[in-house]
């Protein structure tokens, strides 16, 4: 479907970062217009998709310049330096993090311990996407450590000690984030009555809903204990708010009115709460622990927010285009549960009669088939992916806007963070 190679060209700084994005085929005039607008290096008319690009959601305004725009540029080739695997850069730390997580979820009651550690076991733990982002962000924001706390140690040893302490605290943020994330998965699977997760049986299908809920609660309590150990009230407040956002987003999904169900703005707000809030506020916490300015912390937040939104938009696309084997869960799971996502919302803009079908509840297979038929005739899938690309570009702009650094580790981590935006757009599972 996506046949041509593209790359984002940054017009910020030294134009350092390039990589491939798949362009959407301009098979008809509607897609051609969207493609032309997205590829325009100096657009004078904002694409209609821009009304869905969330620059202010979460009460944090974007501080980088929108005059220096990222855009999609076709038929460019990525540079060699941008092709390194982001996950390999933090592989050793991810291994340590996995061991720590398994030790942190040990409970006195064996059954609870077995349930709590289910998604932390080898082979089931996933790729640790969020910890990878946070560990890379910690390096990307690396800066000289203040010598104000120097004591009888030599200056070099003081610096090493402070840097080690800071890194351990930032690793703790990654561990907390992963525990909150897994807890939310356990609770979501109960609410959705899901049978599988990550290609294996869901915990609730194996041990029952009650134990799955308690295991999620246990993980949240362990995350709270770890969070308190950081003794940073601003960071504690940030991540406590994330838990509130997860509950808010899930409640929004469960209690939508007919009007809200077809409202793209409502959908994007819910998506921020359910998906993007955790990674965005965790990225901000990484910056705050390092003592960065409010501007740098906001840029870290913007990266996480837009990466999270792009990730979920692609997830919505894959629910229609992927297979159960590749996704590790049933395809078409959202629409079968009556959840209306971006591709369908864009399709409804083209075919208002689809909205009438959706409003009937999608409770029988015939209505689902009819909705899928309308989706297939629309540009819903393409427009959802284009919106994901817009957010991926905004995430990359945030990294490009960080203060310049000559440190190669910093530069490499920033390239890796930008590469992750590419991987999010092109993922197939």
Task: Residue 40: count other Cβ atoms within 10 Å of its Cβ.
Answer: 14
DSSP structural state of residue 119: G
Span 266-303, pLDDT tens digits: 999 999 999 999 999 999 999 999 999 999 999 999 99
* Confidence grade of residue 144 (pLDDT, cut at 50, 70, 90): low
Whole-angstrom distance, CA of residue 7 vs CA of residue 21: 5
pLDDT of residue 363: 79
Q: How much is the pLDDT for 27? A: 35
Phi then psi for residue 98, to 5 deg, are -60, -40
Helix (H) or strand (E) holding 8: strand 4-9
Every domain of the chain and the residues it spans: 4-46+59-81, 82-426
Q: Which CATH class is domain 82-426?
A: mainly alpha
Sheet containing 21-23, strands listed edge to edge, beginning at the edge strand earlier in sequence = 21-23, 4-9, 71-74
Taken as a whole, the chain contains a residue count of 429
75: pLDDT strictly greater than 90: no
Other Cβ atoms within 10 Å of 56 Cβ, number:
8
The pLDDT value recorded for residue 70 is 44
Structure confidence by residue, pLDDT tens digits, 304-355:
999 999 999 999 999 999 765 454 445 687 888 888 999 999 999 999 999 9
Neighbour tally for 305: CB within 10 Å? 29
CA–CA distance, 267 with 260 (Å, rounded to integer): 8
How far apart, in whole angstroms, are the C-alpha atoms of residue 166 and residue 147? 14
Q: Which pLDDT does position 220 carry in this prediction?
A: 96
Contact 21, 6 (CB under 8 A): yes
**pLDDT the model gives residue 296:** 96
pTM: 0.79
The pLDDT of 389-417, averaged and rounded, is 96
Q: What is the pLDDT of residue 57?
A: 54
Average pLDDT over the chain, rounded to an integer: 79
Q: Is the pLDDT of residue 86 over 50?
A: yes
DSSP-derived 3-state class of residue 391: helix
Query: Is a pLDDT exceeding 80 seen at residue 198?
Result: no
- Nearest alpha-carbon partner for 282 in 233, 313, 242: 242
The more confident residue out of 81 and 383 is 383
Q: Is the pLDDT of residue 29 over 80?
A: no
């Amino acid at each position: 479907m996506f046949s041509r190679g593209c790359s984002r060209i940054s017009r910020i700084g030294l134009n350092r970062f390039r990589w491939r994005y798949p362009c959407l085929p301009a098979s008809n005039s509607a897609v051609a217009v969207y493609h032309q607008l997205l590829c325009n290096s100096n657009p004078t008319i904002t694409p209609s998709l821009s009304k869905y690009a969330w620059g202010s959601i979460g009460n944090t305004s974007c501080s980088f310049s929108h005059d220096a725009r990222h855009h999609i540029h076709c038929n460019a080739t990525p540079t060699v330096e941008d092709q390194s695997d982001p996950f390999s850069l933090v592989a050793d730390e991810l291994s340590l993090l996995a061991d720590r997580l398994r030790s942190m979820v040990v409970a006195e009651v064996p059954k609870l311990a077995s349930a709590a550690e289910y998604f932390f076991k080898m082979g089931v733990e996933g790729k640790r996407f969020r910890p990878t982002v946070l560990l890379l962000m910690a390096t990307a924001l690396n800066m000289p450590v203040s010598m104000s706390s120097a004591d009888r140690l030599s200056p070099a040893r003081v610096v090493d000690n402070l840097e080690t302490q800071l890194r351990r605290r930032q690793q703790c943020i990654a561990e907390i984030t992963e525990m909150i994330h897994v807890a939310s998965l356990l609770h979501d699977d109960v609410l959705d009555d899901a049978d599988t997760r990550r290609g294996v049986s869901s915990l609730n299908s194996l041990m029952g809903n009650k134990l799955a809920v308690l295991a999620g609660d246990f993980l949240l309590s362990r995350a709270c204990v770890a969070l308190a150990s950081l003794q940073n009230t601003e960071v504690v407040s940030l991540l406590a708010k994330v838990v509130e956002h997860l509950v808010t987003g899930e409640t929004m999904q469960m209690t939508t009115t007919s009007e809200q169900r077809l409202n793209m703005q409502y959908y994007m707000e819910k998506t921020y709460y359910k998906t993007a809030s955790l990674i965005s506020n965790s990225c901000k916490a990484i910056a705050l622990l390092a003592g960065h300015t409010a501007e740098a912390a906001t840029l870290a937040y913007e990266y996480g927010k837009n990466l999270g939104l792009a990730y979920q938009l692609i997830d919505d696309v894959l629910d229609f285009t992927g297979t159960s084997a590749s996704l590790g869960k049933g395809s078409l799971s959202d629409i079968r549960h009556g959840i209306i996502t971006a591709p369908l919302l864009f399709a409804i803009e083209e075919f208002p009669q689809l909205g009438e079908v959706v409003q009937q509840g999608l409770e029988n297979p015939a209505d689902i088939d009819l909705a899928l038929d309308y989706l297939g005739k629309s540009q819903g899938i393409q427009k959802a992916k284009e919106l994901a690309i817009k957010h991926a570009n905004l995430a990359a702009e945030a990294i490009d806007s960080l203060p310049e650094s000559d440190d190669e580790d910093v530069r490499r981590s920033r390239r890796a963070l930008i590469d992750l935006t590419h991987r999010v757009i092109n993922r197939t599972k």
